[in-house]
Structure 1
């Protein structure tokens, strides 16, 4: 990968008086670089994996699809709605944008292969800021075995990212939300509640615990979860992005079943504080995974069994309908 880069644990520059990552200014702004100058700087930071047969630089990318099917998903991230530049640096924002899309591919039981990234920003944006954003995207793709294969850049009043992720099923059937059956067990993999607790700390103006702030800024999906679930015979799988209760509700609705969660089985670390259980049940953006498994084919030890699938509808926690479920972009 070309260009000097700071440590992945740093955002590579000072913050301005208003808290935004200020960059160094040595490269100028993206407006001064122009569209094609910016594209050249960004694409040089994007190594290509074996699934990408033709990467950035042409009218479109070419990505291998040996299975004959392509898993595709897309997300929008809008400044002020999905991230704040006084709370997260550019590397954080890129990391998070990649992670949430890659996790959706894994939730289908697929192997991520490529991202396509649309990047909109004010022309006054520091070019070094944009490069660090793409470093975050590229590094998280590398962790999942994928690449940023192409995209677009455009001027806009605020930073916006439109990310499309592609994946390969490797000959297997997709793991959907509609396969859960009465008698299955419900299990989760990965962190729950940490990103939500971190967001609450930032909203309250607090500067720690650091691990919770980091969880909000840089989620760490266990990308191996899709392959694990498939190998164990999972009947349904999804990415926990909007809250455990709400996302389990999607499985319940799609499968025509009821899901019962036993709160005593949930891992609620002390660091989450007095509202820990609420964060675990309703907090999103950790991008862990929840799945259902046949009773005679239990999930692997890396998963935690938290409940059962039965006849009926909806989700119950300790036998009751929970008051809160999770995030809705139009209800807030």
Structure 2
């Protein structure tokens, strides 16, 4: 009888793999309390809080061995750098300035201390590159593998913080850099190929801190997010936050010659990789078309990084589409794959 009850109970269980990452987040945060000092709560790249007259940006990000990194592909320093870059990119997405980092490290007792020291060297290096310092953290024992969790305290770099909300019908969807290069390098690693010059994009991405501050100071930029889970999926977050849609044209995505050669050699479509590949840590923004041409030229002169319009926001439907059609895959989901 107990077995029958157990089976009935199991049939009523909602598996995380059935709903995915973002519906889970919505369920977890929907009943959370807040207070007057919270300007932006869950659902954006950073929480924004007011504390004694200062506007603070708070974010965290985890990297887990076997999920986010593999030692056979990357050294400890590169693992530390990329783990830190992922968290720092959230600050860039809101046009903020990172200040302080707290690191939680979990590892088994038999872990090589030299590996952990090199990992911290990578964390400290990317923090310094972005103007932040490590000020503390925690250590814990793990049953297997290494886990790093990074919490960052940042601050507003100017009078304006950019959020995911704010896109308007008719806005252009623009992206910095060349999306898909990290995903292309990952494809090469998975297939035993040499990623060549794209290894830098995968193992040592540089968060767009100064670029984010520059864009946040432009009134023509209405919303922004960092590119972590895929161009199409992250653009969809901007559309969803504004209760509208975004239509992406893959022919307009700036794909480097090196990426095209590598992806085609692996038998994949470069445009599809650029649309769905994540971990580029570029910036995606909604921008007024009247301001874009002048902004594009000034941005590229200042940073020597492409800024490219790759789509449009519309109120005709909701969600993210590719040339008006629903995509087969939008990007990465931690629990659906």
Q: State TM-score, norm by structure 2.
A: 0.76
How far 1:296 moved relative to its partner? 2.7
How far 1:223 moved relative to its partner? 2.2
Q: 1:98 to 1:294 in 2, by over 3 A?
A: same
Counterpart CA distance in 2 for 1:166 and 1:103 is 12
Give the alignment of 1:28-43 within 5 angstroms. Answer: none
The one of 145, 151, 171 aligned to 1:164: 151
Does the aligned pair in 2 maintain the 1:201–1:213 contact within 8 Å?
no
The one of 123, 131, 145 aligned to 2:117: 131
The one of 183, 191, 198 aligned to 1:196: 183
Counterpart CA distance in 2 for 1:71 and 1:291 is 19
Does the aligned pair in 2 maintain the 1:66–1:170 contact within 8 Å?
no
Which residue is 2:3 aligned to?
none
Counterpart CA distance in 2 for 1:118 and 1:190 is 31
Structure 1 residue runs of 5 or longer lacking an equivalent are 1-64
The one of 82, 103, 108 aligned to 1:122: 108
Structure 2 residue runs of 5 or longer lacking an equivalent are 1-50, 301-306
How far 1:213 moved relative to its partner? 2.7
Counterpart CA distance in 1 for 2:101 and 2:213 is 20
The number of residue pairs the alignment matches comes to: 268
Give the alignment of 1:22-101 within 5 angstroms. Answer: 68-101=54-87
The answer to whether structure 1 residue 324 and structure 2 residue 329 are counterparts is: yes
Does the aligned pair in 2 maintain the 1:243–1:326 contact within 8 Å?
yes
The answer to whether structure 1 residue 178 and structure 2 residue 165 are counterparts is: yes
Moved over 3 A (4+): none
Q: 1:310 to 1:140 in 2, by over 3 A?
A: same
Q: State TM-score, norm by structure 1.
A: 0.77
CA displacement, residues 72-130 of structure 1 (integer Å, 9 cap, x when unaligned): 11111111011111111110111011101000011011111111110111222222111
Does the aligned pair in 2 maintain the 1:67–1:169 contact within 8 Å?
no
Counterpart CA distance in 2 for 1:261 and 1:228 is 24
How far 1:212 moved relative to its partner? 2.1
Counterpart CA distance in 2 for 1:276 and 1:269 is 10
Which residue is 1:56 aligned to?
none
The one of 125, 130, 138 aligned to 1:152: 138
Match of 1:162, SS state, is: strand
Match of 1:153, SS state, is: strand
Match of 1:249, SS state, is: helix
How far 1:171 moved relative to its partner? 4.7
The one of 275, 287, 293 aligned to 2:287: 293
Which residue is 2:222 aligned to?
235
Q: 1:304 to 1:123 in 2, by over 3 A?
A: same
Considering fraction of residues, name the structure with more helix: 2
Q: 1:323 to 1:126 in 2, by over 3 A?
A: same
Counterpart CA distance in 1 for 2:206 and 2:124 is 15
How far 1:222 moved relative to its partner? 2.5
How far 1:173 moved relative to its partner? 3.3
Q: 1:261 to 1:214 in 2, by over 3 A?
A: same
Counterpart CA distance in 2 for 1:246 and 1:280 is 11
Counterpart CA distance in 1 for 2:53 and 2:199 is 39
Counterpart CA distance in 2 for 1:280 and 1:186 is 15
